Structures are given as structure tokens and as C-alpha cells.
Structure 1
Amino acid sequence: MLSRLIFSLFLLGYLVGTGIPVALAAGPSAEDYRVQPALPVFLNLGELPVFSLSGQDPPRVTADAAVLMEASTGQVLFAKNAHQLRPPASTTKILTALLAIEGGRLNQVVTVSPRAAAVGESSMHLFPGQRLTLEQLLYGALLRSGNDACVAIAEHIAGSEGNFVFLMNEKARELGASHSHFCNPHGLPAPGHVSSAYDLALLTRYALKNSTFRALVSTRYRGFVNPPWGEYHLHNTNRLLWSYQGADGVKTGTTSEAGMCLVASASRGGRQLISVVLHSDDRYGDTMALLDYGFTSFKNMTLVKEGQAFRSIPVTGGVVSAVPLVSERTLAVAVPVHRPPAVEKRFNAPAVLTAPLPKALPVGTLDVWVEGEPVARARLLTGRSVQRLPAYRLWWKKVRAMPPGVNIS
């Protein structure tokens, strides 16, 4: 009952939050300067078509659909049927775990319902009435790929599996996974339960920014005792964690319809790559080939650092004649290593601003194009506040600008 009340309040807050625009209390807003809306940092330009940078000797993969993504930039370094709708199998549990981490506390005690305990296929072998922590269930879902654990998590977070699935689809849309639709929290076959290689990479990129999620998916083994129900020994189904240098996640998935699937991540030399292969004849071989390709054929290039002044814009009516624009975040892009990269910066901002101006007001964007394709965006903010000149100084300034002989009486 309490969980259903919490879900109802959450839904009410969501609808109200998305339906009522919020305005600045005072002073000019970003809309006043007609700048493009800000995109979430983790998306870059995720709504644009997927393209694949042409590295040297791209790998051949057996998977029907595949994506290799640079985690820090969101760029796609390799794509094969990236937006093709496919059953995601247990890679669904990436989103389930993310919602559980964001919506619950790891030490919360969860009571397993008869419905959750009855879920078949891959499972933790839970029992009705069994009590475990949310953290233990998350290990069961991500390492053992327990379908029963996913339903127990869903019922705990949202009151029912149906409510939780609603939240899954809302979160997917929020993050830009526009080709995904989920019907359950575990990935067992269901009509209309689909995602894409690109969407799974996008969701994983966001999830990997969460330290708890990173710790869970990089764990090889987890054991715990749950009296009186016995001991659990959970081994991660992702074999890359033992066999590939730098492997640090994420999730396997297998059903007869989806085939062998794997969403994987690996980190080397300060870079992290995300690989997705769906319906693969050799998911580990495909994944290692993609990751090797990404690490050897590309490098990251930093174009602007967070807070770095990019250029100045003239200001009318202010105590100063111009205001510097600074980047809201560090902007880096992946570029091929075997040839000089074709990188272009495109500046988008008004030609002039009018005082007063607050500090950190979004007034423009810096777009980066690589190989003729848009790949990243950073908002440009005012680097300082600018007060408006007093009325008498504005009047005197206007008088001084008048041609000689003009009578102002």
C-alpha cells in the first residue's frame, strides 16, 4: 500500500513537473535571446541520426545489430543496424537496475511476493515471504540474471510490475531511447518488448555515470548468507570480466528469439568504451573485436574545458562593452588516429546582448562536427554578470553619440 502511494505521488509530481513551465524570477532568460534549448550532458546530440566514424580496418561482426560508443562523448565509432528493433533479452535489466538504484536505498528490506518467486527461466530461486535487501536483489539481477529478483525489485520500487514498467518506458524516453519499449523488468519474451543496439548503448552510458551501478556490473562474484533461506553464491555471467583487459561491465542476455546478446564496457588509458551486440553467433569474439578497434583506431581530443572563455559578445547598456562566454562543460570528441581529423567548431549565439545580465546565463551553444557530422554540443554561458548603466549615464552616452549641431532641447 505504501509503495503504491509513493508511486501515485511520484506520477502526480511527474505530470505536474512536465506540464508547468518554470520562468526566471527576474532578469532576461535564455528564451529572450532565442537560443537553442540545452541538451542533457550525457546525450550530446543523441536525437540526431547515428553515424559511424570511419576508422582503419573496421571489424566484421557476426551480430545482427551492433554499436560501439565512446562513453565520454556519446559518439558512435561503429554501427551495424544500430536502430533496428530487436528483443533485448536480459540486457533489459540494465534499466531495471538503474531505476532501482535511483528510486530506492540499497539497505531497504524487500519481501518477495508469491508472484515474484514464481517467475521462471534464469532465477535466484527466491521463495514467497523471503526477505532480502535491495542490494542483494540487485546483485541477483545483474550477476545471476535472476528474473525473480527483477520482479521483486519492480514491486518494491513501484508497488506493482505494471507501475514499474511504466517508469521504465518514461525513463527510456527521457534519456532519448526512442526506439525502445519495455513490457517487463527482466527481458523474457513478450510482444512489443524491443530495444535497439543504439538505445542500449545510450542507456548504459547514462547508467555508468552512477557509481553504484558501476560497482555492481563490474563485480565478478558476490556471496552472502540469507538465513533461514541459506547461502547465495552469485557469479557474473559476463565472461569478459575475467578475459579482457579493462573490462568493467555490463550485462549478458540470451533467449531463443533474441539470440546471444552482450552489452559490455571496458576502460583503458582514461577512455571507456561501450559495446553492444545483439543476436550474435560469437558475442564475446564480436565484443572484443569492437573494443580493440575502438581503443586502437581512435583517440579523444579535448576542444574546450569547462569554464574556459570561448569568445566575447558585445553588450549594450552595460557597465562593460562586452561579456565573455564560457563553456558549461569540458567538450571532447573521439577522432581517428590514422589521419588528421576533420573537426569543425560552430558557434551559435546572438550578435549582441542587452544589460543587465546575470552570470552563467545560457546565451548560445558550441557545436562540434567531426567528419562532417554533428557529434557534441556544449552550452555557452555568460562568464560574468553585467549591470545596466544608470539612466543618466545612458542618456549622456546617447548625447555624446549624436552628430554635432543636433539640438536636444
Structure 2
Amino acid sequence: MKKSRHPFLLLLTVAFCMEFFLTGTVCYADTEAKEVGNLYALSAVLMDGDSGRILYAKNGEEKRPMASTTKIMTCILVLENSRLDEAAEVSAYAASMPKVRLGVQPKERYLTGDLLYSLMLESHNDTAVVLAEHVAGSVEAFAALMNEKAEEIGCKDTWFITPNGLDAEEETKEGIWEHSTTAADLARILRYCISESPKREEFLAITGTPSYDFSDCDGKRTFSCRNHNAFLTMMEGALTGKTGFTAKAGYCYVGALKRDNRTFIVALLGCGWPNNKGYKWVDTRKLMEYGLKNYTLHPLSEAAKPSVPEELPVENGQSRILGEMREVPLVCSQGEDRQVLLKEGETIEVTYEGATGLSAPVKRGETIGRLTYATEGWIWKTEDITAKEDVDKITFDWCLKQTVKRFAAG
């Protein structure tokens, strides 16, 4: 066999293949990946918290277990479906949950609002079940609410089984489903919690509290909770976040930051296993700093607009003079100017799609066309182009009246 004349080239090729197959990372000219640098997380996403646009992703659509980051969904559903002053009773099943737990006992009663601090600051698993059973009657019914909300938010690759994030599987008609999400979906859920939910202010207040003390409803037991979200004091503008860990999920995290009117969300799944608890903070800082450094706000109004017709001809439309082509004026439904996050080199492209001519009848306010503002396929905004007035269709009676008027005038 003829020996290779380029042994170094052969070794380089082998090293490339090993990197590809062992890490699952494709080595191509990915500008964002190079600028962000290596991440510990198996799946990661940086999202624009205002628009929902994903600014960076590493395996962002890969399904993985998410551990206690699940509890952000539990928290927002409890806030939306109960009052903070309601008393929730502990079941034997809730009391049997494994660590980490508050240590509640069957038949004890606690205020829902107090338990939410236990849920989000200390990540207690028994508390999650108490709240789920209080809201929906059972864990299974609460999980159904979680999945309904996930679908409503736009999460297509998320499936909830437990309210606390413990690893779980269940068999359905479609097959075996695992308690799992994607980094992209997890970021979408937190975005809902902090910007879209009617209970967003309450969510931020609870998750941003450094510590909280409370008692059961009978005043027999007292508890102290401390917030374990180190990100809150790690970066200026940190808003909220939730940690998570199971043996299967590894360390997970989702958090949000707001600075200079820009909101960024980071979601991490599979970000190391013991003894690498700090990896998630390294990745979170790296992604947040990437967003802060590279993305700035730009008004949509700065985009160059295409030529849009001011009026369009209307066939068979009634006009002031018999036989004259009627034209209908158009109006653009311009909304309030928005600021959007763009990276250097990105632009806002505005395209127009609409009719070049109309046929009567035309109704005032009828949509004739549409302006679309977009960046690399992400749609920021659409503006409808509508008819400014009615145009009735020519009829025999109308023609007769116009003819009579013409003879009368002559």
C-alpha cells in the first residue's frame, strides 16, 4: 500500500472528524458561534426578550429534560389561576416528594402566596405539588394546564408531566413522552412570564426577592427561604431566573436581564454535571455580554420604504363623470414607531405586497396591500394599506340616473 505523503494532513482530518462526532458541533464559519465562544451547555439560546427573536442558538431546538426550570411555568399558572391569599392544603402525595423540599406535612394549610416563594426561591418539590393540586385538583390536571399554556405561547417541542421538574415519562396515544423542552421553548416561556402574562409584575416581584419568611396558616411552623439565583447579583440589570438540576437533565438555567431598554433572555440545558455547578453562570454571563455588546436599538422608521401607490384604479366603479375611470385613495395604518434590536450589519427590509388594480365594489377600510418590516426573515411589524373610501359598482340604475342628469344639464 502506498503511504500518504501528507501525514500531518491525515492527522488533521482525523482530529476534525473526532471533533464532529464527539461534540456534535459542526465546524463551519458561524460568525455568532465564534464571537460567543465555547459554551458548556449542550443546548443554549440567547433571545431578544422584547420581540422573541432568537439572537444566538446552540442546539436550540433539541429536546432535553429541564429539571426545576419547569417551576417558572408552575409559578405563572398559579398566579394566573388563584389568589395569593387562598389556603392550600397538603396531601400525602405532596408531602412524599423527594428533596429538595420544604418538609410540609399532610393536612397542613399554607397561603398560596407564601408557597410561591418556597417554590421559586428554594425550588421545593413538595411545594410545587401542593400548588398544582390546589389549582387543578391533581398533578395530571395541572400538567394539562401547563401543556395548554405552552402551546398557547408557541412552544412546539415542550411536554410537561410534573409541576416540579423531576424526571418523568408517560405513555400517550402518540407514544412515550418525556418531561422535556428545548432551550428555545424555555426562553419563550420565561418571556411570557416577564412580558406577556397579566401577572408578570407579581412574577418578577417573587423571583427577585432575596429572602422570605412565612408560617403555615395555623402559625405552628415557620420557614425561611433564600433566593439561590446567583445571577441576580452577578450582572447589572438582572431581572429574574430559575436554576434546575436532576441527574438526567444536568444543570439548567433560564434568566433575564434588562439594561438600556434592551431585554435579553438566556436559556441553558445540560450545562454540566457535578462537580461543575458553576458552568451555568459562566455561560449565562458570556451570552448576556455578547448580547449587550453586539445588539443596539434602532427605530423601524429608519428603514427605507418601497414605493407604495397613493391610489388605485377601480374597474366598474361609480365615478363623478360617466365613463371616467374611478380611482380610490389608499391609506397606511401606521402604528407607533418601534425600537428593535439589531446587530451591526443587519438591516430592516420593508416590502410591499398588494393589488395593482381593483374591481368594484370596494369598501372603506378594506385591506388592499401590506407593508412588512423584517430582518433575515424575522417579521417585526406589518402595516395594512387600506381603501380610504367606498366605491360602489356601476349598475343599470346608476347609469340611467347619470344619463338623465347629462340630458338635463344639456
Residue aligning to 1:160: 138
Residue aligning to 1:343: 348
**Cα distance, 1:366 vs structure 2:** 4.1
Residue aligning to 1:31: none
Name the CA distance, whole Å, in 2 between partners of 1:55 and 1:300: 22
Q: Does 1:204 align with 2:190?
A: yes
2:383 to 376, 380, 383: 380
Q: Does 1:290 align with 2:287?
A: yes
**Cα distance, 1:240 vs structure 2:** 0.9
SS at match of 1:347: strand
**One-letter identity of the residue aligned with 2:332:** L
SS at match of 1:241: helix
Q: Which whole-Å deviations, capped at 9, do the CAs of 1:209-257 have from their partners, x for residues lacking one?
A: 1222222222222222334232221111211112221111111101111
Name the CA distance, whole Å, in 2 between partners of 1:272 and 1:362: 34
**One-letter identity of the residue aligned with 2:223:** Y
Q: Does 1:139 align with 2:139?
A: no
**Cα distance, 1:264 vs structure 2:** 0.9
Q: Does 1:117 align with 2:95?
A: yes
Q: Which whole-Å deviations, capped at 9, do the CAs of 1:9-67 have from their partners, x for residues lacking one?
A: xxxxxxxxxxxxxxxxxxxxxxxxxxxxxxxxxxxxxxxxxxx9849822321111100
Residue aligning to 1:300: 297
Structure 2 alignment gaps of length 5 or more: 1-29, 170-177, 273-278, 320-326, 404-410
1:325 to 329, 332, 335: 332
Calculate the TM-score normalised by the size of structure 2. Answer: 0.74
**Cα distance, 1:397 vs structure 2:** 12
Name the CA distance, whole Å, in 2 between partners of 1:53 and 1:219: 38
**One-letter identity of the residue aligned with 2:377:** P
**One-letter identity of the residue aligned with 1:212:** E
Whether the 8 Å CA contact 1:180–1:196 is kept in 2: the answer is yes
Whether the 8 Å CA contact 1:116–1:148 is kept in 2: the answer is yes
**One-letter identity of the residue aligned with 2:240:** G
SS at match of 1:322: strand
Which structure exhibits the higher relative contact order, with contacts defined as CA atoms closer than 8 Å and separated by 6 or more residues? 1
Rg comparison, structure with higher value? 2
Residue aligning to 1:260: 251
Residue aligning to 2:78: 100
Stretch moving more, 220-229 or 149-158:
220-229
Q: Which whole-Å deviations, capped at 9, do the CAs of 1:340-399 have from their partners, x for residues lacking one?
A: 3233122344446753235xx7765543332xx211243434679744559899946996
Q: Which whole-Å deviations, capped at 9, do the CAs of 1:88-118 have from their partners, x for residues lacking one?
A: 0001111111211222222222222222122
Give the superposed CA RMSD: 3.2
Q: Which whole-Å deviations, capped at 9, do the CAs of 1:127-155 have from their partners, x for residues lacking one?
A: 22222222112211111111111111111
1:248 to 236, 239, 243: 239
Calculate the TM-score normalised by the size of structure 1. Answer: 0.74
Query: Are the structure 2 counterparts of residues 184 and 293 from structure 1 closer, same or farther at C-alpha, using a change threshold of 3 Å?
Result: same
Q: Which whole-Å deviations, capped at 9, do the CAs of 1:171-202 have from their partners, x for residues lacking one?
A: 11121111111111110011211101000011
Query: Are the structure 2 counterparts of residues 218 and 162 from structure 1 closer, same or farther at C-alpha, using a change threshold of 3 Å?
Result: same
Whether the 8 Å CA contact 1:55–1:297 is kept in 2: the answer is no
Whether the 8 Å CA contact 2:371–2:385 is kept in 1: the answer is no
Q: Percent identity?
A: 29
**One-letter identity of the residue aligned with 2:235:** Y
Whether the 8 Å CA contact 1:92–1:186 is kept in 2: the answer is yes
Q: Does 1:231 align with 2:228?
A: no
